[in-house]
Every structure is written in C-alpha cells, then in structure tokens.
Structure 1
Amino acid sequence: MSGKFTIDGVTVPFETGQSIMDAALAAKIYIPHLCHNPEFHPHGSCRLCCVNADGRTVAACTTPAAEGIQVENETHEITTQRRLLLKLLFVEGNHVCPACEKSGACQLQAVAYHCGMLAPEFVHFYPKRAVDASHPETIIDFNRCILCELCVRASREFDHKSVFNIGGRGIQAHLMINSPSGKLGDSAFSARDKAARVCPVGAILPKHRGYNIPIGKRLYDQESISQVGDVASHLEHDDDR
C-alpha cells in the first residue's frame, strides 16, 4: 500500500512502513539529522529531525508516514530549535573544526552550516576526555563524540561484536569500549568493521593518514549537506579515500 503526504507544501509519496524521514530521503527532501542512518533501526536520540506533523512535534526518523498528513520541516521556529541543539552539542564536547581531520566531511559541521549556526553562543564545557590510540589501525578521540550511537548500532547489528556501548547518564554519558581494559586495542574491533566507517564526526579515525583530501574537494566543500543526498554512504566512501 502507498500514499502521499506533504512536507512544506511539497507532495511526498510513501510506501507502507516508511517513516517520514524515509519518504523524505527518497524524495530528495533533506531533514537535518545526526543519529539517523537508513541502514539501521531508527533511534530518535539527536532530536534534530523533529518536525511538525499536523501540529504535533515528532521525530521524523521514528514517526510512520501517513496519508494526508501535513509536515512542516523548515519553519523559523524549527530551525531556531535545531540551532539551539547544535550549539549545545558544540560546547558540550571539544570541537576544533579548523584543525580537525574531518573538517569538510563532518556531518555535525555541515548540519550547523545548513541551520545557520556560524558561531557558538554558550560557554564551552572543555571536558577532559582521553584519546584512545591503543588500536594499531584506528584512533578514537572521545572529545568529538556526540553520542549518536551509530558505532554502537553498527557494531551490534552489522559486525555482531558489540564493541561499543554508552555508559553513564545525562551529562556523564559517554562512549565505552567493551574490552577487559576498556581500550579499543583489547577489543574485537577491526578497521574493516562497519562501525569503523559510520561516525558522522571525527571521533573514529584511521591511523597513519590524515588530511588526505585537499581543501576544495572534501564532501561538503562544493555542495551543502542538503544537496549531497545519501549522507551515510558518502561518509563511508569518503573514509575509504
């Protein structure tokens, strides 16, 4: 069974079982998101994809598409709320975009540009977080982790290793490595795992190479995130270059 609904006045077709996000992506309509990946079960944790559907605020990635609903995605109120969430993410971690290897191909950075977040507004937390370089092929910089859980889900659902998990609550929440020492080098992780290639920021990076894509040729240098299309597959491809 199929049907139609609208996003900002544009008619969008959908198939039964698709979420608002699924249908929007298929119609090449961009709804900002960080924790969503079409290959994984929807998570709904980042809240950036919240839209108004018939007057209700819902997460586009977890809300089923329905016949005739009217969805608002790019209103001033929604964009302002998204900018607020992004500003909180930037000050909660240690994100230094000009010096980051992922700059130009970072989903967090690209979504911030799309939503008009060009400068921080709040006081930075400057948390003291470690860098795990114990693995021979991959490094983890916990300073950049935004707790999207994409690596958690990839390791569990695709790699069947459950290398990653989230511990703590609230401001104390953090990414954990499931190994005797808590280090990546003592885990079952491999650089060929799906979990090695899904991070939307610069938290999980390959060792022994960096800044290998010149400025001007990076993923978002010539096109905004709203024009790129399937962000997840582009990010994986970019990491393989």
Structure 2
Amino acid sequence: MILGNQKRKRFDLNNNAINVYYGYTSGDNFQHHWKKLLAELPSSIQQHCLKFKQTSDQQKRFLGYTLLKSALEDHKIPTKELENIALSEFKKPYLENYPDFNFSLSYSKNLSLCAISQGLEIGIDVEKIEKIEIEDFKSVFSTHIWEKIIQSESPLISFYQYWTTIEAVTKANGDGIVGPIQDIEFNEQKIKYNNKMWLVEEIKEIDNDYKIHLCYPIISNITICYKRILNLKSV
C-alpha cells in the first residue's frame, strides 16, 4: 500500500522490449537449494507456494517468483518490492509501487517462465505437450475453433496451440480464463478479444517439448530477449 506522499517509481526498460526469463525445476542444483531459497522470499509468496500439496507444484511456483526476483535485480528494482505484489479484480498480479512494470508467470511440468515489460500489457502461457483427452476441453472453444482443431493434421498439437494462445491473451487482457473466451477472434497472429487487438507470438527458442505463446499489444519493432536461470545460488 502506498502511504502519504510516496511516489510510484518508474521501471526503466525499452518500451518496445519484452524479456522472458525461464528455468527448470529438474537437476541437483535446484533440488538441493530450492527450500532454503524459498525461505528468503516474502512470507506471502512462501504461503502461496506451499499451499499446493504436490512438491512439484510448490517448486515450479517458487521458481517463477525466483525468476521475477532475478528480473527485478537486473532492472535495478529493489527485491523488497516482492512484498508489494497486489492482485487486480481478476487476480492478475502487479507491483503496487511500479505500475509501469508488467509481468506474467506461467508453469508447466518442470519449466517456469516469467515475462516482463515496461508499459506493455503482456501475457505468457506454457504447456508441456502430452497426450490428453482433448474432448474434455471442447466446451472451452468456439464451434469454429474446435472444428479447426479436430480437422487439423495433428489435433493434439493444434489443441495446445490454441489453448496457450487463449491463455496468453486472457492473461494480457487481465481477466484470465473466466472472460468471454469463446468470443476471441483469430486472424493468424492478430487476435481480437474484448474489443482490443493483440499480437500473439509462438516462442520456439526455449523448448520444443512445450507450447509457449506470448501476447502483447500490436506495436512495431518489438524486441524479445531470453535469459535462462541456471544456478539458483547466484539469484
């Protein structure tokens, strides 16, 4: 909460840049250090991570916030701002004291992602490509999109393509999967949702075993950079 005459700070990053941090929960380094480093994060984040019963769910959320911590350090934002994460009406997280700093977290299996930007509403989503019963999710999609999925050369891959696209768009828009997702209009990379136009880009530079999509407003000359966090002890 901001009190008195305290001013909100400005986040200094190129307006047309998006940085994507990522890391894996696999490996001895992670397994040896994650619980100790979790204890160094704000108690609210610790509680959020530990409310999940499965250790794997705790780990990937811890890693997501560790990536966010690394992003704050890289961009000269005090890491104590992790204590000032608030939630919007639709549970979209943001930093109270840095309104220009936008971030989006996503996790699947042992991969965690954190995308950040200045002044750009962004959303990122990742899913491990695994065999599932896609019919269980039919009601999520419009009739038109569902037909495109099941008539595609690989319905499973097409399903993950559309699923992560929708998740990324709704995260960027700020209402999550509870919004009017069947009204999303697809035109290749351009997406219309809730009377807003978005660009959605598939991220292929990280891991081909996953489908990853990044959503941001339609602007020119966007730059996307990637940073993998390898050594937890250095964060």
Instruction: Looking at secondary structure, tell me which structure has more strand per residue.
Output: 2
Q: Which has the higher contact order (CA 8 A, sep 6+)?
A: 2
Q: Could you tell me the TM-score, scaled by structure 2's length? A: 0.27
Instruction: Looking at secondary structure, tell me which structure has more helix per residue.
Output: 2
